Structure 1
């Protein structure tokens, strides 16, 4: 930990009480291994039968109608609305939410083992598929919408996304593409201590691009064939603005929860949100191109809503919350998502596998990770991540699926054959 606490604060414009709030939030995630849980999020692109165009929220027979029809099957106390617009549903370990372009996200957890994933996902599909069919919609698992252009997809009526839309529209060539046209798979797991969390984050950032290549699933971009093995990575890192890619300072010897908190708080919020800040000078949601948490939130400890909002404005490869979230992957059909989950859970919660991975990647630097990303992006199957072949890494990581059959998976293979 850095000895001069005020030095970071003065130079990076953060609030001491805010920093301690985030540190305590991270520390609340420290649990013994027997209490570890797993979370999986799978985003889906809704497309129209016959055209395969992306389906938006408020068009006739659109995603709004799907959610309204689905609502009676879910817990009314878990509904999420922005104003009067229904944007999310929940029941037990299943939560349904929407990404900016109307992509349907299914969040599953907290699970105690990967075996739960298939059953929970089957429940989600059993509920939603008949309603989708009624509205001539189907969900596909690709990293990017197959035929539509991002500029033609209207964002859902959510104040946060309106602010993000304005922010990315001004600062990023790929921001709208990521918001409106992309879909991902994310896997989350727990840690037992600060040291354990930092070690797992470093390892996850290092192996993420390799697993991203093995599980790549983006055959199309803006209606054309996609040639980039890691398109999702390319879009996010092109956004820049200090909130994507490798967590700042992660591979420094003195990296800590405190430094993670300072980095999260120092970055402009992108979308300021004081809807749960009764003592704020300004109420609402707005685009914050330069304002960070110290500008927006009062000089006091942050509440949980404020903490989660601040963290959610960062899109690093691996995101630290009161758990660790890996964010590298394209949207995957359930069989592939299950295999990926098995691999991740084994690597990061099995002590023997974690030790093996730690030894293999000992001494890795941020520059080495960047080099690996560039190699995979430019050389594909000929890349040598950390000096070793992809075949070595496939065996080492137990990644039996290589992605060579994209786009011909069983769920999506007939996409242009309606």
Structure 2
């Protein structure tokens, strides 16, 4: 979750918002990779979710990380809620249920991305172990009920918690019981953004299937391979989904802005205070018709905060966010960005990926999105098995990474980071299915094993 801003730059008009997105354009040589990954903290021994308060809670962990790293603390009131790297630009933040997230720095290569992830996990272990805490990488908390989950002391989450009850049945589960791996990537122009958004949206369900890793809920199989993805289907239809308008002729920065400004807002931040403005749109705010702030017009900070509360399968800011993958173990933290970098950062490969999906209809894209949470690689799209599409997708990504020809000190290129995805393709079985096999076999139906076999 991004750090909320208080940028007071006046927001003049709708064109300013499109220009804000356009300001993210970069030359391909300046393209970077930003990886975000969330994980569930738990108490060793009891396997209960890690609390926020207390000598062995998440706040104590953040204090320990502050001492270890020298990063700047982020507060909500008097409560520490994250850390910011003042040098490289990364950050540690807390999701509503205490999910511990690293928002990685913008890096040039996947080698750097993987080193960053490894270093972060080692640092977290160093501080967490004396506190009796461990961390689990999965898409949904496998054993904890919604009522078990702690609530982080963030005002924006208080507002969201109340609003989620009005707009869907699973929004609170999304907030408190899910975790993801995301990758943020750059675009060179509006046309490049459009191509990447379209390919990313069409293939996001395939990535969801490949990285499916949330088969349990409330201590038993849920009937889904990615219950995290299923949760997003009934969270808040106004701000989620597959964005079919992105495939319309003429789609670009302005069309995306027009959608976002009509999405109901959550809050406006003034100083340290969060004002609940749920139910009103940013378009109303731009017209000075926000009931809670009559006559007041928004700032760029208000826009940046609002954009951070939009949750489609692919999100556009000053970069593009791929949001379809479940949280997972450390190798997945490297594999998810490897997949998307390989597909999107080589023009020829991006063109081939578009050729693969360009004839899919909006109905076919939505159908596979609806099917993969339960069926995974067994679903189909436009008459093709998802497994076959995934095989082609990973093959293209491999070629894209090979063409980048970026080597580490041992002479290995970035294709090595696709190994987890290639293993899934070769076996035809997702991590979720392998975990279900263990649950029904060697674990004897006891999910305590998750906290030992799949902890970081």
For Structure 1 versus Structure 2, the TM-score category normalised by the shorter chain is 0.7 to 0.9
Shift of 1:413: 9.2
Aligned position for 2:270: 275
Shift of 1:286: 3.4
- How well do the aligned residues superpose, as a CA RMSD in angstroms? 2.5
Aligned position for 2:389: 393
Aligned position for 1:85: 79
Within the candidate set 311, 323, 346, 1:350 is matched to 346
Shift of 1:103: 0.6
Aligned position for 2:256: 260
Shift of 1:379: 4.1
Within the candidate set 29, 35, 42, 1:40 is matched to 35
* Post-superposition CA distance 1:27-58 (Å, at most 9, x none): 01111111101110000000111222211212
User: More deviation in 198-207 or 48-57?
Assistant: 48-57
Shift of 1:170: 3.1
Q: Does the aligned pair in 1 maintain the 2:184–2:319 contact within 8 Å? A: yes
* Post-superposition CA distance 1:330-359 (Å, at most 9, x none): 112121221221111010001221111011
Shift of 1:185: 0.6
For the residue of structure 1 that corresponds to 2:196, the secondary structure is helix
Aligned position for 1:280: none
Within the candidate set 430, 444, 450, 1:404 is matched to 430
User: More deviation in 377-386 or 46-55?
Assistant: 377-386
Aligned position for 1:11: none
CA distance in 1, matches of 2:20, 2:220: 43
Aligned position for 1:376: 372
Shift of 1:401: 3.5
Change (3 A) 1:141 1:377: closer
Q: Does the aligned pair in 1 maintain the 2:286–2:297 contact within 8 Å? A: no
Aligned position for 2:206: 210
Change (3 A) 1:59 1:220: farther
Alignment map for 1:46-195 (pairs within 5 Å)? 46-76=41-71, 78-91=72-85, 92-93=87-88, 94-195=90-191
* Post-superposition CA distance 1:101-146 (Å, at most 9, x none): 1110011120111111121122212222122111111011011112
User: More deviation in 354-363 or 41-50?
Assistant: 354-363
Change (3 A) 1:172 1:187: same
Shift of 1:189: 0.6
For the residue of structure 2 that corresponds to 1:238, the secondary structure is coil
* Post-superposition CA distance 1:239-296 (Å, at most 9, x none): 2341001125111112221111111111110x212325xxxxxx93233331122444
The gaps in structure 2 that reach 5 residues or longer are 1-9, 289-295, 395-420, 439-446
Normalised TM-score (structure 2)? 0.81
User: More deviation in 105-114 or 244-253?
Assistant: 244-253
Q: 1:29 and 2:24 equivalent?
A: yes
CA distance in 1, matches of 2:62, 2:384: 47
Change (3 A) 1:362 1:61: same
The gaps in structure 1 that reach 5 residues or longer are 1-14, 277-282
CA distance in 1, matches of 2:209, 2:152: 31
Q: 1:312 and 2:308 equivalent?
A: yes
Q: Does the aligned pair in 2 maintain the 1:178–1:236 contact within 8 Å? A: yes
Q: Does the aligned pair in 2 maintain the 1:311–1:321 contact within 8 Å? A: yes
For the residue of structure 2 that corresponds to 1:61, the secondary structure is coil
Shift of 1:238: 0.5
CA distance in 2, matches of 1:141, 1:23: 36
Q: 1:287 and 2:279 equivalent?
A: no
CA distance in 2, matches of 1:188, 1:205: 14
For the residue of structure 2 that corresponds to 1:30, the secondary structure is coil
User: More deviation in 369-378 or 292-301?
Assistant: 292-301
CA distance in 1, matches of 2:276, 2:252: 29
Change (3 A) 1:401 1:304: farther
CA distance in 1, matches of 2:371, 2:153: 40
CA distance in 2, matches of 1:288, 1:16: 18
Q: 1:415 and 2:409 equivalent?
A: no
Aligned position for 1:325: 321
User: More deviation in 191-200 or 380-389?
Assistant: 380-389
Normalised TM-score (structure 1)? 0.88
* Post-superposition CA distance 1:133-162 (Å, at most 9, x none): 111110110111121111222311111011
Within the candidate set 217, 224, 228, 1:228 is matched to 224
Shift of 1:16: 9.2
